[in-house]
Each structure stands twice: as C-alpha cells, then as structure tokens.
Structure 1
C-alpha cells in the first residue's frame, strides 16, 4: 500500500456541475473513490456509465463515484451543457467540470473513458482506460474494501444520490423523429418509449411502458431503453433500441412488439454476415433508414453502417472498418466517428458523423465527405463545402425536392441547409431558440425538429418561416 502514489486532491478551485460545493478531500478517507474521466459526446463513456451504475449499486456503502467531465467540443466547456448530459444519462453522482483539463493532466489521463481508483487513504490504486472494465474494477474494489476493513479504516455510510432535475415536461430528451404522410412518431428517449402522434401533436398511442427494460409484448406492455431511430415499412415499425443494443419491430395493426436483431446486451459484432439475428449483440444502434427493402443501421458504438436484409433475415456490414476516423473510400476501407444520423434518397445514403462533425454520402459502395474536416476540426462556419464547419451534428433529412440536406448542428444549436449540388451550407435563421437539437425530418412544406435539450418537437412552415412547438402529451 505504501508504494501507491497520493491522489491529487480536489481543491477550492475545483468546479462542480451538480453540486453547490463539493466535499472536502480529507473527509472522503475510509471510502474507495472512483474518478470517472468522461466526455458527454463519447459513446464509450456512455457504455462505461452502465458499468459504473452496477458498481455504485453493489458497493453503495463503501464506494463513492465522482464524474470528471473533460470537454472535446467548445460547447462542452459550458456547465449547462454538461448538466444536460448528466440528466440525459441519468447520472446520480457528483460531477466536476474539468473545462481546462486540470485534473486530467494531474492524474495523467490519456483517453476517454478512464476510471481512476483511489483507496481509503487517498492513494491511487489503479487506472483503467476504456470501456468493459467492470470485472477488473469489481475485483480491485473488493480487495481495497477488505484491506480497509482489516486496518479499521473503512467508512460504511452510503453516498447520497445527487440530482438537479430538468423542468417537468411531457417529453424527456426526445431523440429521433419519423414523419409519414399522416403521422408523427417521436422517440421519447428519456422516457423510454415511442409516441405515435398526429401532425398536430395529438398522441394516438404509446409504444413502450416507459420503464427502462428489454421485454417484448403489446404496446405499453413492452420495455425499451433509450429508443432512437425509426423506419416504417408497410405496417411494420422498426426501432433502434439504443440502450438495449437491438432492433425492435412493432406490428402496427396488432401492436405486438418483438426483438428481431440483438441480444439485449452490448457487444461488438464481427465484420461478417450474421444469420442468427437474435444471437448477435449489437453496439449502440442509433438510427435506421429504409433503402430498397433493406434496413440500414447507424451503429454508433462501432463506427459503422450495417445492412439488415429484411427479406433474407441477414445482417451484414455495409460501410466502415469499425476504426475511428473520417477516411473516405470503398466499403470496409472507410472510417466513421460515431454515426448518429442516417437518411436515404435517390440511391444515396447520407450519414451524419457526430465526432468528426461531418456529413458523409455513400453511393455505389463509395463513401465521400460532403462537409467536415475530421474528428478534431469543428466550429460554426457556413460557406462553400471546404470551409464549412459543424459542431457535433446528430441528424439529417433530405428535403422532398432532393436538392437540400437538412442538418441539425447540435452543439451550435442550429438548423442548417446543405446543398446537394455542391453549393455548401448555410444557417437557417429562425425566430426560435434551439437547444441541443437531436434530429430533423422534412415533408412538403414542413420541417420537423426534435429540440432535444428543450424537451419538445418543433414544426416549421417553410413558406412563412413560422416555428410552432407541438403540444405532445400535454
């Protein structure tokens, strides 16, 4: 134990997001501390949070978790943006805003996520980079708590649950949208359900109980976990059940819901054809689109686009090697960086790549970049394609005229129009405030925006520019 280095303490200059004042470092002695260095836009951090929740529950009387949020994007330096992420991800432990990377450097962290373990005497017992470290952390925590108890150092009081909730509203962080000729489907992601509505926002029926879980059944008897992208094929609604890492299908006539692809657990499917669809574990499927009776899946956790052949019941890779990046090319030679939005039109697949702040196009097996310069090149710049800079966009939609791709520029809180004829991109100035918009859809004369951070759906009349908040669930 004596060889362990002392952990750098919290100080009066440490900035807390969801606490008015953080705990004194010395008063934490006797407990095992987990310092989770994370980032709101990093999918691997989101996966690691599920592992930490398990450990928090198991060791509630001996472990305290502290989140240390370290920004990648400029927007993530703002405490209000971090607080939105805390609430969206159901984080109930104290979080530090390490906007200037001070603790990151003091602890020698090199990547997201990294979990640093501090023993009962305030010394660093280990550091674990990446996701999938639950078992290793579990073993070390157990050993450290036994060690502390044997030396009569262990504190047994439970850590408090910390919460600064969002304002009460009918929707909670709505994610993706689907608009048909007569209906509007809203992935009410924070409430773990999908709402079928009229175009005016009147709720027709609820899909999913609202309780997080993975269980099939009829409509509100089923369980989802952060549902996202949706696609409708005849009377079948397909849903990317992000938190359950699977694809669900709703029979719209009977209301029956079934899991057609995925095990319900997080995995990393091999780059090959899969025939046993319910035995392959998916990796954060975030959005879906129909292309020639095939369901294209933006697999955000694996930096790939996959193809689910609905006729043959086969899952195959469509584009991307699985590596993180923004490389163009053919088929599996391509790299993506957390694709979270996908649209299909005129034999072309459009992909919004969140972590590279770019928009990609896939046609005839070849991927090209329409706008965006790479994973660490971002901003808020309109103009010709080479000059355009976005900041963590999350969704896109092809306008019915086929000449414009609408893009929600999430961290810039803007709606942008990208010319599909090479004319570049421009911001659509509207008399309406967007807060972390997560998706956009387009129908003749209308644009629909999931204003995720404001817990609402907005409908825009393209002729007048008038934006109207829909009273969904009110």
Structure 2
C-alpha cells in the first residue's frame, strides 16, 4: 500500500444536498450513507464549461473499468442563470451522454460544503465515507484511477468494499427525428445538413426542415472514416460548405475535422489525431499530426477553414492547399481581451460566420459577439466579460447576451446571434451599434441559417429546425441583467499571497527536463484591482498588491503543471499535464484574509 493511502487524513465527507433533486436515478434520492462501501467520485461541473465536458469524457473509461466498485456522482453547480433551471440540467445530462447519477444543486449548497472554487473539481470519497483527494481542473483521471486501485486493495483487505451495480438508471429514449442538434448548413439543392450531435451523426433534411433525406454516420460514438453507414463521429457540431461541394465537420469530442463528400457519402479525416491538445503541444504543422481541442464551429474565410477551438480559447485555421493547421488568434488564456490576434483572449468561441470583411464569432463564456479583421486584429461588438450576462437591448456598449453559441451574417450587413441561454434570436447592426431582439421563446438556439427571406433556427433543446420570417422591427423584451452568483472571498486590501498548491500524484514527479514544469498567469477584472502581480511566470506562489479603492472584482488565475511517471526502469515514462483556470470573485475588507490558496491537483485530503 502506498504511503499516500496510509497517511491520508480522516475527513468526513459532507452530505449531498441540492434543491433540484436527482437525475439518472429513476426518481430515487440518495445520501452518502446509501453509497457506503463504494468509492465515490464527485464531479462538480456546469454544462456551459468546456473543461467540464472534457472531464465527462475523461471519466467514461474509468467508470466502465471500475463499474462494480466506483460510483461517479455529478454535482451540477451553475454559473449562468439558465443553468439553474432543472429542465436545462436534465437536457444537458442527456445531451452529453452522462451515464451516472447527477445531483442538481442550483443554490450551490454542496459546492459550498466542499469548499469548491472552480469548475470542474473532482472529489474522491473512500468506502467508509471520508474525503481522500480533491483535484481542480482537467487531466487528473489518470491519478484518480491509480488511487482507485489503491482504495480497492485497501478496503478489500479491510472488508469495507461493497461491489455490485451502481445507482445509475438510464432515462427512456425519446423518439424524435433529431436529438439536441448543434449546427446546420443549407445545401445548394435547398436541403439542410444538420449535426445531430447527441446521436453522433449528420442528418440531411428536406427543404421543409423535417423530412429525412439521408443520414451520415452509424449513430454511435467513434472515430472511424468510411461510408455513410459505417463512419462514426463523437458529438459533431459545426459545418462549413466548401466551393467543391464537400462539407467540413467539427467533430468536437474527437478533437478533429472531418470531410463529408456529399456525392459519394464518404467521410474522411482532415485534421486532428483524436487526442486532445495540451500546453506544450504543437500549434502548427501537418493537419493529421497536430492535436486539436474541442473544435465547435468552422467557417470558410480568406481561403482557409477557420476553426472555433472552444477547448483552448483560440481560433485556428486549416489550409487545404498544403494540408496544414495553425493558430490564428488567441493565447489560450480565457477572457475578453481585444487587439492583435496573438495577444487576444477568447472564452470558448463556439460560433463563426464569415463576410468578405469580417469573421464574426460568438464567444460563449464571455457572452460576447466579436469579430476578426482581415489583418487578424480582434474586436468586441457586444459583451463585458466572463461574469456579466443577461438580456438587454439597446446600444452595444450596454447590451447583454447570455452564452451565445451561434452567429449568422444577414444580407444587410448586420448579424443574427443565437443567444442560447436567453432562448432568443438577437440582431446586432454595425451601422447603428444597436442590439435588438428578433424572436423569443426559442429553446436553446445554437445556430441559424438563411433561406431566402426566412431564417431557419436550430432549436437544440426542442430537437428541431424552426423557420422564422425576418421581421422589419425587433421585438422589445424587458431588460434583465445578471452576475455570476458565487459568494466573493473577503481579502484584505494591500498585499495578498496567492498560492496554487500542486503536488505530483503518487508515482509521478514534476517534468522539468525541458525547463520549468509549472506556469502561472494572473489578471483581474477590473484591471485596476491589481496594482502589482499580474502577468505570467513559472512560480506557483506570487504576492499580489490590491488597489484599496477597488472594493470588488475578480481575480483570474490560470495554472499549469506537468508531471511524468517516476520509474527509473521505464525508458519512456507517460507524462501528464494538469491545468485549471479560476475566476475568484473577491471583496476587499479590513478583516479579510491575506492569503488565497487554490488547489490544482495531487493533494490528499
């Protein structure tokens, strides 16, 4: 038994509570006592968060391998107002194929009990009900699986491990033509090609938007090229029609771009390896040799296929002339910063629309509409940052969106925004700088395409395409503004010691063979909050100077650490990257703390 298990502190796990109740249990309510004897992994997530979606996929293999000893419980802890709606959580659980029980915690009760600070966070509870590990961010499942093996051995020997079926009860499948469709494109013959995301396939619908013409893909998770009947996708999203009549597909969870030959019905891979991009991976090169990260949408612009790389907050491009991919804008830091492409910050870019002079994009986590000029510079039309959102029309400087996923160029030079979490279609007019509402009572619209004088909206959570006449005047709706509801941390004005705590998991060591193995980036909203300490560095501890006159704000902290298996007998050890972004709301008070500690990974509780 490893020293990490023998020395583990005995901290009783707090009870699981949430006003929203339970999903994926057949109506059963659970307590930790009901799960005694099993290894429990709590996954604190929210469905807007791309890192949380990555962790859902990381957990799938562990869940399958340890199905008789491990119970994963998703604790849904919302950021956006829409995510606090129980029906929206239920939709997300089905949309992303979550195959474990989920506790809906709209008031963040369990989040607070476990002192969670970031999405996603994983907490491991042993069969006797004690917390034994907590990890923030993605990339930790390999360490958790090793811990699970140790716990299985320890509690088998003690007689405290209970094997058997878990509490997961799958929901009954719904007989709809589409299931949570993501994006659509109008084909030259007047039909529509739709990414039928949850069913892992593409569907061609007739001009009525309802009748099925053809289906591409076997309809199961996978990454295989081939015919329409045998090819497989993994939650495909964005679609772009090229001049040669083929379609480029953003195969999101496969971290790849695929090519669909409509005439032959054949699917091939254009870019990506099937592996997720991590810090230190190549950022350009032959397209089939470079890792990508959750491409969410694609658009043909300036002779290249532009890619909304939601997983790492960047824009990339695929060049069909030489078969290469490369970063075009973004630093991988999450936020809203304009300027030259190599200095701009994005936050889960999820929708693209090209016009001759601009590439428009929906930047979902900042609830923003932005654009890229041909010279590569990035600008914001609507949006204020990571924590401000709502439904407000008017001047763009005051208007608010809520997690938009799609953007559509309109004939008059304006753009329509699929304002997903507001269930609305919005319009931004660059000529007047005004934002208006075109339609409401849509259900999580994620994209829209033009069809003559109509606009056809992908109503993702109603599993259909909805045709609307573009109105001459916008619909007026009451103004609603929100801020993320997380409780601020009270800190003292002046000096604040920031510590990101990282300990390499058992059996690993920091990978410093090619230089520093850690990285820390700090910024703030508003920028005036930080007098000293912003910027990048390799030390995970830093002293910040806070401006006393700024009473509230958000500290943005991004940390990364690399570790490798520590076994001298292994010539090529497996290496892992641990990374996490935090947005920590703070309030300056004289009695506040002078130290802020954030746990990245590897700490036994």
Same fold at TM > 0.5:
yes
Alignment match of 1:390 (pick from 401, 414, 437): 401
Q: 1:3-402 maps to which residues of 2 (within 5 A)?
A: 3-10=9-16, 15-19=21-25, 20-165=27-172, 167-182=174-189, 183-201=191-209, 202-233=211-242, 234-268=244-278, 274-363=284-373, 364-402=375-413
Query: Would the aligned equivalents of 1:175 and 1:186 in 2 still touch at CA under 8 Å?
Result: yes
Q: 1:393-472 maps to which residues of 2 (within 5 A)?
A: 393-402=404-413, 404-429=414-439, 433-462=441-470
| 2-structure distance, mates of 1:365, 1:10 | 48
Residue 257 of structure 1 and its aligned partner are, at CA, apart by 1.5
Q: Secondary structure at the match of 1:156?
A: coil
Change (3 A) 1:121 1:439: same
Q: Secondary structure at the match of 1:220?
A: coil
Q: Deviations over 1:205-263 (max 9, x none)?
A: 22111121110012222111111111111222111111111001122232222101011
Query: Would the aligned equivalents of 2:18 and 2:106 in 1 still touch at CA under 8 Å?
Result: no
Larger radius of gyration: 2
Query: Would the aligned equivalents of 2:362 and 2:369 in 1 still touch at CA under 8 Å?
Result: yes
Q: Secondary structure at the match of 1:138?
A: helix
Residue 109 of structure 1 and its aligned partner are, at CA, apart by 1.2
Residue 11 of structure 1 and its aligned partner are, at CA, apart by 5.2
Q: Deviations over 1:297-316 (max 9, x none)?
A: 00000100101111122211
Q: Secondary structure at the match of 1:219?
A: coil
Q: Deviations over 1:341-388 (max 9, x none)?
A: 011102211010110000001112111100010010101111100111
Query: Would the aligned equivalents of 2:383 and 2:400 in 1 still touch at CA under 8 Å?
Result: yes
TM-score with structure 1 setting the length: 0.93
TM-score with structure 2 setting the length: 0.74
Q: Secondary structure at the match of 2:351?
A: strand
Q: Deviations over 1:408-431 (max 9, x none)?
A: 11111001111122432111146x
| 2-structure distance, mates of 1:40, 1:74 | 12
Figure out how many residues of one structure are paired with residues of the other and give that number: 462
Residue 191 of structure 1 and its aligned partner are, at CA, apart by 1.3
Residue 158 of structure 1 and its aligned partner are, at CA, apart by 1.6
Q: Secondary structure at the match of 1:392?
A: coil
Moved more, 130-139 or 163-172: 163-172
| 2-structure distance, mates of 1:307, 1:10 | 44
Residue 395 of structure 1 and its aligned partner are, at CA, apart by 0.2
Moved more, 220-229 or 268-277: 268-277
Query: Would the aligned equivalents of 1:445 and 1:463 in 2 still touch at CA under 8 Å?
Result: no
| 1-structure distance, mates of 2:287, 2:57 | 24
| 1-structure distance, mates of 2:68, 2:438 | 52
Q: Secondary structure at the match of 1:145?
A: helix
**Structure 2 spans left out of the alignment, 5+ residues:** 1-5, 474-605
| 2-structure distance, mates of 1:248, 1:14 | 39
Query: Would the aligned equivalents of 1:237 and 1:249 in 2 still touch at CA under 8 Å?
Result: yes
